[in-house]
Structure 1
Amino acid sequence: VVYNGFNIEKKSFKRTNFDENSFLNFGFIGQINQSKGIEVLMKSLVEFSNYNNWKLYVAGRIEPYYQEYLLSFFPKDRVEFLGYIDQDVFFKKINVLIVPSIWEEPFGRVVVEGLLRKVVVLGSKRGGIKEILEGNEEFLFNPLSEEPRKLLELIIINPKKLNLFNFDINLIERFSLENVIKHYHNFYKIK
């Protein structure tokens, strides 16, 4: 497999250190539709609307009728629809990215974007997402089961669990443009 490449900037992003009183700024970014799992996420969080230690930020274009439908799940102060915004602005607002895709993501670029910014990623066990989150299996879930709700419950009750997330620099480097070019070169090299 030759992955998609990224210009991995050598900035140092600071990892959040979670404690039992940490406020969880959950985030969802990308296409806002059923196949990307936004409804799975909203329905999983609705049970925890009485907990005051979290908020959900949703970034991406959305039809007004669909936004109203999603807002019907829980109080409007618990979710903020940001519209289409710059990724850096979005990632500065959150400390946990949730990628609940239902369909088999071929790659899951947003997962790598989160990792590059040292944001904990909770991801669906679909397609390439599970490969990118290798070594973080306890932060993966089957989106068509009770697993997303159970994982969110565990984290909302005990945010310190998020400190176990492994930011493996070697895994991230796998997606650098230099490594991808090297893989393509080796693949097409005539012997």
Structure 2
Amino acid sequence: MKKKILFLHSSSELYGSDKSLLNLVNKLDRTKYQIYVMLPSQGELVEKIEETGNCKVIIKSIAILRRKNLSIKGIVSYFRDFFSSVKYLKAFIKENNIDIIYTNTSVVFPGGVAAKSLNKKSIWHVREIISNKYENFIVKRIVNRYADVIIGNSKATLNSIIIDKNKGRVIYNVVDIKNDFLDSQRKNQTFTIGMAGRINRWKGQDFFVDAALEVLKEYPDVTFLIAGDVFKGEEYLKESLKEKISKSDGSKKIKLLGLISNMEEFYRSLDIFVLPSIKPEPFGLVILEAMARRVPVIATNFGGPAEIIQDEVTGILVEPKNVTELTQKIKMLIDDSEKREYIAKSGQIMQQEQFSIDEYIQNIEGVLDESNE
């Protein structure tokens, strides 16, 4: 008999955690598992999952703990949604005879609570590092209390959340890349440097812009691209970034692209990819995406990137917020085409050899098939 799995996720877009979920539901063995995916709204992720077939998508907004909830009014609103979500999930689990509740983010609590109350297996796949001590304290204890298994997408992520080490597993994210476009020619004629990620306080867009402005003083023809958008309710972060760029001398050379539907075109336009996170990156799926397209990567030296990149071989690591160092490394790669090609080729080989989709799915299925006794 097939195991029935309910995946809970906090977004319907196509950022790193969304793509990792898509890989899962696309590749899991349908002869062993019947899959349900609950998402908060319509979006690109819904469309992509429905294309896989043999997978039921339910649009239902389950309570998600966001920074905006950290006020008296926000907490009241959150707990109202939380209890309503637990009630709904318990009814759904019973009605559909769900065996495993798989929560695909650390900040969606109702699934684990509903699973525990019904004595169902609860898997919590953590893809964030919560750096705020107070927030981390709360989330860590809830996740450890209500999860039977806790998966971290890197050692750094797991170490930031785990209390009971017996529950912990590290399973690195992967990208599922078809070989027919790995060596495609670049689209841009001008030298182009880009970053991709949701615009927030820690992804480092401001850090990237600061380094870009320094590079442009010496290399005025270089173009800098920023792909990604904000969470709903945090539009002010994007407006602040826009204002910073518009008031700078590099306003015509630094471009905010917003959310991009065709990331293949984006990566093929780049000569260098930068992941400038100023707080520990849980994993950094965009690093592997760039490597797979043979684009050399520069990333900050902590969290997941430090576990992925061998410095000066498969990529370059720099200290977070160190504008001078990031600027120097970018200039070095602009000037040294042989170094760029060496790092790009080494990164691509490493991505193909060490981060395969088959091993990823095998590891996940191993967790799904573990006894819950």
Question: Same-fold call, TM > 0.5?
Answer: yes
Q: Report how far residue 100 of structure 1 moved.
A: 0.6
Partner amino acid for 1:36?
K
From 71, 84, 92, give the equivalent of 2:268: 92
Matched with 2:247 is 72
From 301, 309, 321, give the equivalent of 1:144: 321
Contact 1:102–1:126 at 8 Å: present in 2 too?
A: no
- 1:54 is aligned to 2:234: no
Structure scoring higher RCO (CA < 8 A, sep ≥ 6) equals: 1
From 10, 13, 36, give the equivalent of 2:182: 13
From 172, 177, 180, give the equivalent of 2:360: 180
- Structure 2 distance, partners of 1:164, 1:23, is 21
Q: Report how far residue 67 of structure 1 moved.
A: 1.2
Paired residues in the alignment total 186
Contact 1:174–1:180 at 8 Å: present in 2 too?
A: no
- Structure 2 distance, partners of 1:164, 1:152, is 15
Q: Report how far residue 7 of structure 1 moved.
A: 2.4
1:173/1:45 CA distance change after superposition, 3 Å = same
- Structure 2 distance, partners of 1:167, 1:127, is 18
Normalising by structure 2, we get a TM-score of 0.45
Larger radius of gyration: 2
Contact 1:56–1:79 at 8 Å: present in 2 too?
A: yes
Per-residue CA deviation, residues 11-65 of structure 1 (Å, 9 max, x unaligned), is 2422779xxxx84200111112341111111112212223234110111125334
Matched with 2:305 is 129
Q: Report how far residue 159 of structure 1 moved.
A: 4.2
List runs of 5+ in structure 1 lacking aligned partners.
none
Q: Report how far residue 163 of structure 1 moved.
A: 2.1
Aligned-residue identity in percent: 24
DSSP 3-state at the match of 1:27:
strand
Pick which of 70-79 and 39-48 moved more. 70-79
List runs of 5+ in structure 2 lacking aligned partners.
1-169, 231-237
Matched with 1:167 is 347
1:14/1:74 CA distance change after superposition, 3 Å = farther
Runs of 4+ in 1 over 6 A off after TM superposition: 187-190
Q: Report how far residue 175 of structure 1 moved.
A: 2.3
Partner amino acid for 2:222?
W
Partner amino acid for 2:352?
I
Per-residue CA deviation, residues 143-182 of structure 1 (Å, 9 max, x unaligned), is 2323212212323344443122023424434322211123
Pick which of 180-189 and 24-33 moved more. 180-189
